[in-house]
Amino acid sequence: MPLGTLDRTPPPFFNQGPSALTKLIFCSALALFLMVADARFALMRPLRAGLATALYPVQWAVIEPIRLVLGGSAYFSSQASLQAKADAAQRLLVTQSVRAGQVEQLTLENTRLRQLLELRAQTTTPAQSAEVLYDAADPYTHKVVIDKGTSQGVVAGSPVLDGLGVLGQVTRAYPMVSEVTLLIDRDQAIPVLNTRTGARSVAYGDPASYGGQLELRFMAGNSDVQIGDVLTTSGVDGVYPLGLQVATIAKIERRADSAFARIYCTPVAQVAGPRHVLVLQPVAAQIPEMPPAPAPVVAPKKGAKK
Quote the pTM value.
Answer: 0.59
Q: Per residue in 12-24, pLDDT tens?
A: 555 567 778 888 9
Q: Does 83 have pLDDT greater than 60?
A: yes
The pLDDT-based confidence of 162 (bands split at 50, 70, 90) is confident
> Does the structure show a pLDDT above 70 at 229?
yes
Give pLDDT, residue 271. Answer: 85
What CATH fold (topology level) applies to the domain 128-182? Thrombin, subunit H (2.40.10)
Calculate what percentage of the chain has a pLDDT beyond 70: 68
Q: What are phi and psi of 277, to 5 degrees?
A: -135, 170
The residues spanned by each domain of the chain are 45-122, 128-182, 189-286
Q: Judge whether 128-182 and 189-286 match in fold.
A: yes
Tens digit of each residue's pLDDT (9 = 90 or more) over 24-47: 999 998 888 888 887 877 777 787
Closest C-alpha to 134, from 48, 46, 60, 53: 60
pLDDT at 255 exceeding the cut of 60: yes
DSSP 46-80: HHHHHHHHHHHHHHHHHHHHHHHHHHHTTTT--HH
Higher pLDDT, 114 or 255: 255
User: Is a pLDDT exceeding 70 seen at residue 117?
Assistant: no
Strands 230-233, 245-253: parallel, antiparallel or unpaired by DSSP?
antiparallel
For 123, other C-beta atoms within 10 Å of its C-beta total: 16
* Class in CATH terms, 189-286: mainly beta
Q: Is the dihedral of CA 83, 86, 92, 94 positive or negative?
A: negative
